[in-house]
Amino acid sequence: MNRGDPFSVLPLIERALTSYVERLDVGTRLRDAIAYSLLSGGKRLRPVLAWHACEAAGGEAVDALPACVALELVHCFSLVHDDLPAMDDDDLRRGIPTLHKHAGEAMAILAGDAMMTLAFEPLTTDAVSPKLGKRGELCVRLVRDLVVATTGMISGQVYDTIPGTAPGGSALERVRVIHKHKTGALIRASCTMGGSCAQLSGGGRDEDVAALGRFGDAVGLMFQIVDDLIDLEQPSELVGKRTGKDEEAGKLTYPLAYGGGAEGARQCRDEVAKLKASALAELDRFGAKAEALRELVDFLATRTK
């Protein structure tokens, strides 16, 4: 693998996702809807994080594939439900019509539900890898991590979507809670689940997984602040989804919580720099094995879409 590009694993991840969907026994129409959402591109950030976290924790990266598939299923479920008319009401996602525009609202609700429950399958069966199903304790640990992450993500979605529900006094406190849950929980889980999978090849020590969790916390918050900046500053055509919608919807974002305008954006960039430094510090213990994660942090801090 080319260490210089953390995304060079994408073909392997795409293949795992495609072959998982092909073998799904859920009826043609539901499988088509799942394929539409799951196989329509995207950054695959969570699987890529899990892959390299496994490597950093001393594992064979390929052992993280069940976690990669599980994480992307949860992520895509959340996108499909977030896009629904009763939620963010988005028509465009990854440059194509959202699932409820493509297949109807009922199917979008049900396909989201199905992806969420299916996420637990690769973690406890040989649907993706025959190795994991024989390791009861590791399966249980992965299921637990995914439950905590998904529940956290959904809480965050409540805080973000339903006015007045986010706890915290200041705008900055509230936006931190929203982001920590809505985006951060699953990114944290990507790192810990990937790290835990390293147990399949003799790695994945508890203290290493814990460090990866702290790394994930910093990366998750950084990712979301950058996302807020992109929504504020970049045109829809470039990003492949509608931008400027946070402001339009009156949503609390990081730049706004910092007072908005050029000064808000500047403070966000400072915060991104600090979080990047914290994330990188957590990787020191892993030496060269974390090189791909370092590249990934660089990319995430500077991306514009």
**Residue 190, CB-side half-sphere exposure with 13 Å CA sphere:** 29
Mask for 167-186, x = binds its own copies (CB under 8 A): x-------------------
210 binding its own copies? (CB under 8 A): no
Q: Which helix (H) or strand (E) holds 65?
A: helix 65-82
CB of 213 to its own copies, least distance (A): 17
Which of 73, 146, 222, 232 is close enough to bind its own copies by CB under 8 A?
146
Which of 37, 98, 129, 155 is close enough to bind its own copies by CB under 8 A?
155
Which window, 77-85, 195-203, 243-251, 291-299, contacts its own copies (CB under 8 A)?
Answer: 77-85
The SS3 call for residue 93 is strand
Cα-Cα-Cα-Cα dihedral of 112, 118, 119, 121, to 10°?
180
288 binding its own copies? (CB under 8 A): no
How many residues sit in the footprint of its own copies (CB under 8 A)? 48
Which of 147, 210, 273, 277 is close enough to bind its own copies by CB under 8 A?
147
Q: What are phi and psi of 117, to 5 degrees?
A: -75, -35
35 binding its own copies? (CB under 8 A): no
| 278: Cβ contacts below 8 Å, ≥ 6 apart | 214, 218
Cα-Cα-Cα-Cα dihedral of 135, 138, 139, 144, to 10°?
160
Structure tokens at 183: 């985006």
Q: Are 71 and 186 in contact (CB under 8 A)?
A: yes
192 binding its own copies? (CB under 8 A): no
Nearer residue to its own copies within complex by CB, 157 or 190: 157
139 binding its own copies? (CB under 8 A): yes
Which window, 9-17, 44-52, 59-67, 128-136, contacts its own copies (CB under 8 A)?
Answer: 128-136
230 binding its own copies? (CB under 8 A): no
Which window, 111-119, 183-191, 239-247, 255-263, contacts its own copies (CB under 8 A)?
Answer: 111-119
| 99: Cβ contacts below 8 Å, ≥ 6 apart | 33, 36, 37, 80, 83, 93, 107, 108, 111, 112
What is the rounded CA–CA span in Å between residue 281 and residue 20? 36
What is the rounded CA–CA span in Å between residue 264 and residue 279? 22
Q: Which residues contact its own copies (rule: CB under 8 A)? A: 26-30, 77, 81, 84, 86-87, 104-107, 109-110, 112-114, 116-118, 120-121, 123-125, 133, 135-137, 139-140, 143-144, 146-147, 150-151, 154-155, 157-159, 161-162, 165, 167
